[in-house]
Amino acid sequence: MTRGEHGISREDISANALKVMYRLNGAGFESYLVGGCVRDILMGYEPKDFDVVTNATPEQIKGLFRNCRLIGRRFRLAHIVFGREIIEVATFRGHHQETDESETVPKNKATGSQDAQGQLVRDNVFGSIEEDAERRDFTFNAMYYSVADFTVKDFANGLAAIEKREVALMGDPETRYREDPVRMLRAVRFAVKLSMRIETSTAVPIKSLASLLQNIPPARLFEETLKLFLSGKGEETFLMMREYDLIDQLFPQLAPFLKDENSKEMQFVRHVLANTDERINNEQRVTPAFLYAALLWYPVEEQSQRLQLESGLNAHDAFNIASSEVIAKQTQRIMIPKRFSTVMRDIWILQQRLPKRFGRRAFQLLTHPKFRAGYDFLLARGQTEGGDLLELAQWWTHFQHAESGKQKGMLNALKRADSAGKGAPRKRKRRPVKRDSDA
């Protein structure tokens, strides 16, 4: 497509991305913008990042840029660092070739390999732009913009997919999902993000192949879940993932609680995700710790109750042990960095402490560094479950904003109500004091 046909302008492109492409071209290499940034510009969105592909090898790229670092094991990438902006540059990927019986190495000297399930575990195979396009995952990601002649190369009818509002895999869907099971998550994310539907042949294998996500490193799945749930459309993404049985693979401890669409657990998760979406869309801060605390709250609560019944532990010890066990089990599937798991524990512990408001405890809790997160969590629970939990959350809503005198009045009223509920305290009988004459 020529510039008149696609309408992409250099004004739509990061100045740093342009610098990278100009320097690569000036050194005699090909370079293109590729993937999501091209797709988003064509759809009228502002890209969040700009990816470049080239026929230069990673080492050649590094030789051209002093601000370059090479990353990746499965496939080597170059990151060109411009302050806070990073331009990712990849070498054209090629196809894997089977080794002939008479050969000891593949014909194209590929260093790629797959495991028994067909998943790519090493992918440093370089090729041409045509081969690179065939290796792309979705059709609308196989479009390449050249700053040299201002054309867009559309290798898989990506523009047609955009016009049809379809997320469609390139090649055989089952084979592509086996190569990289994360593509199932990406299919859902793109469908929600771009307000598209997943094309039928792309959608059909997802449920049967969802278990392949168990082969993905937990650290990579943590990054993927952030993209899924912190996109501003987390609730809608969650519902589509549940439709395709993907939640079961990522959060196996949560899955049993979501069987009933109207269960309190399902409503609570949706409530938290909806609130998170609202905050993101209003450009307010969010933390993955709060989201993960919500996703794993009911598994922790259930495990704590089970430990009390089966092991005779007190509520405090059972809750602490349950928290550790649930987090440990979850990190086998999705790695949760300690900086977030520590905050999750704080939020959970505050759920045990916030009902205890007598004396100085209420004032001490207000100074807790994670009070606000714990209170927000309690409020979400109360708005979902209602009853005493909602009354408790409302009490804290008023208490934290009240003046000092009003706060003391609220605590006194709480104390009187508690005394009335237990009945008037009995007066202790004084023991008679013995006198010397009684001895």
Q: What does the CA dihedral 340, 335, 34, 60 come to, rounded to 10 degrees?
A: 100
Name the CA radius of gyration of the chain, rounded: 29
Q: What was the pLDDT predicted at 416?
A: 85
Amino acid at 230: L
Amino acid at 52: V
Residues 304 and 148: their CA atoms lie apart, in Å, by 63
Of 12, 49, 346, 376, which residue is the catalytic one?
49
What is the helix (H) or strand (E) element at residue 342, kind and residue range?
helix 338-353
Q: What was the pLDDT predicted at 428?
A: 54
Amino acid at 35: G
Q: What was the pLDDT predicted at 6?
A: 84
Beta strand 166-167 with 152-154 is unpaired
Q: What was the pLDDT predicted at 132?
A: 93
Closest CA to 15 of 50, 40, 42: 50
What is the helix (H) or strand (E) element at residue 416, kind and residue range?
helix 404-422
Residues 17 and 270: their CA atoms lie apart, in Å, by 38
- Report the interhelical angle of 371-385 vs 288-295 (nearest 10°): 40
Q: What was the pLDDT predicted at 7?
A: 81
Name the pTM for this structure.
0.83
Closest CA to 271 of 389, 380, 378, 344: 380
Residue-wise DSSP of 209-230 = HGGGGGGS-HHHHHHHHHHHHS
Residues 35 and 358: their CA atoms lie apart, in Å, by 58
Mean pLDDT by 10 residues, the chain (439 residues): 82 96 97 95 93 96 96 87 96 69 37 54 77 93 95 94 96 95 97 96 97 96 96 97 96 95 95 97 95 98 95 93 97 96 97 92 94 97 96 96 92 84 54 51
Q: What was the pLDDT predicted at 104?
A: 33
Q: Six-digit token pair at 63?
A: 């030789």
| CATH assignment, 1-97+116-164 | 3.30.460.10
Q: What was the pLDDT predicted at 100?
A: 42
Of 51, 123, 154, 277, which residue is the catalytic one?
51
Residue 160, SS3? helix
Q: What was the pLDDT predicted at 112?
A: 47
Q: Is residue 51 flagged as an active site residue?
A: yes
Asked if residue 54 lies in contact with residue 89, where contact means CB atoms within 8 angstroms, the answer is yes
Residues 328 and 322: their CA atoms lie apart, in Å, by 10
Residues 238 and 122: their CA atoms lie apart, in Å, by 30
Closest CA to 246 of 303, 177, 200: 177
Of 40, 123, 132, 137, which residue is the catalytic one?
137
Q: What was the pLDDT predicted at 376?
A: 97
